[in-house]
Amino acid sequence: MSIYQFDHLVHFVDHPLNAMEQLRRIGLHVVEGGRHETYGTYNTLSYFDLSYIEIIGTFDKKLVEAAAGIEHSLRETFVNRNYAEGLTRVAIRTNDIEADAKRFKENGLNVNGPLPLSRRRPDGKLITWRLLYVGTNHNTLELPFFIQWDDEDEDRKEELIEQSVIAEHSNGNLAIDSIGFAVADLQQTVETWTRYFDLEKGDSFIDDHLNASAQTLILKGGNLTFYSPLGEGKVKEVLNQHGEAPFTVDFSGANQKGQFHILGAQYRYI
């Protein structure tokens, strides 16, 4: 069985450099990332050890839409959402992406990949990895996609620290506590994700602020929490406007607690 860890959360925005400045103002360390030359996108990045948020936008929608022909791909998500700003998908890091592809096929998932990808950093270095996209024809909440980096984790971490990509956040020693998803059927979604990805269940609770029932799945580097509305509130609003999707990211370790709405997403210091 592969070892899974949270890798990154994708936040789609119209202008990643403008978003970078907004996120810096709420206490996050954010840096320029690079361009995906053949896929029409570019990004800025905010790291929390090796877990990170990718703030991504487009520089050529024709290239994006050409890549959107890959079923269950990230670019397909952007196009299907009509380039709406907000949180879109999560990526899970794996140590055996070939075995994952085989197992997911055997479990009845639609599988595309592994596919080789790359981006060029501002300093000119080419970063390479492989992606695996999985999904079904009936789940409305898109499944995570999977990534295996070509460099070892410790080597990547050391280099990211040297490049000041991993660095101190102005609002404290921050870590990604959990990514929150709005879902219509909490129990069914949790059972689906635990079955496909063998994730351990964590706490179940009521979030009074969101007016929702919730269930957490444990994932090293950033848990996944699913919220189903109990009535009017943020979760119901997300479902009405966007359907089932991630909508919030919670951080631990903040010097000052707070909640911020940034370009279609909710950032919470808990």
With a cut of 90, say whether residue 3 has pLDDT above it. yes
Residue 133's CB: how many other CB atoms inside 10 A?
27
What is the domain partition of the chain in residue ranges? 5-162, 172-269
Buried b (16+ CB within 10 A) or exposed e, 184-197: eebeebbebbeebb
Residue 34 pLDDT level (bands cut at 50, 70, 90):
confident
Q: Please answer whether residues 210 and 227 qualify as being in contact, where contact means their C-beta atoms are separated by less than 8 angstroms.
A: yes
Backbone angles phi, psi at 154, to 5 degrees: -65, -35
8, 1, 177, 23: which is closest to 99 by C-alpha?
Answer: 1
Cα atoms in the Cβ-side hemisphere of radius 13 Å centred on 105 = 11
Residue 39 has what pLDDT? 84
Strand, coil or helix: what is 77? helix
Question: Residues 101-132: pLDDT tens digits?
Answer: 999 999 999 999 999 988 777 788 888 999 99
Question: Which range, of 3-12, 64-73, 139-148, 240-249, averages the lowest pLDDT?
Answer: 64-73
What's the fold here for domain 172-269?
2,3-Dihydroxybiphenyl 1,2-Dioxygenase; domain 1 (3.10.180)
Residue 262 has what pLDDT? 97
With a cut of 90, say whether residue 158 has pLDDT above it. yes
Compute CA 20 distance to the chain's CA centroid, rounded to the nearest angstrom.
Answer: 16
**Cα–Cα distance between 33 and 45 in angstroms, integer?**
6
With a cut of 90, say whether residue 89 has pLDDT above it. yes
Q: Where are the beta strands (DSSP E) in 13-123?
A: 31-36, 41-48, 51-58, 86-93, 110-120
Question: Which range, of 66-70, 78-82, 145-149, 209-213, averages the lowest pLDDT?
Answer: 66-70
Residue 49 has what pLDDT? 97
Residue 68 pLDDT level (bands cut at 50, 70, 90):
confident
Residue 190 has what pLDDT? 97
One-letter amino acid at 266 equals Q
Buried b (16+ CB within 10 A) or exposed e, 234-267: bbbebbeebebbbbbbbbeebeeeeeeebbbbbb
**Cα–Cα distance between 32 and 25 in angstroms, integer?**
16
Residue 203 has what pLDDT? 93
Tokens of 100: 């994952």
223, 197, 211: which is closest to 2 by C-alpha?
Answer: 197
The mean pLDDT of the chain is 94
Residue 1 has what pLDDT? 75
Is 172-269 the same fold as 5-162?
yes
**Cα–Cα distance between 199 and 217 in angstroms, integer?**
6
**Cα torsion 122, 123, 124, 128: sign:** negative
With a cut of 80, say whether residue 37 has pLDDT above it. no
Question: Which range, of 35-39, 152-156, 225-229, averages the lowest pLDDT?
Answer: 35-39
CATH of 5-162, one of 3.10.180.10, 3.40.50.2300, 3.20.20.100, 3.30.2290.10: 3.10.180.10
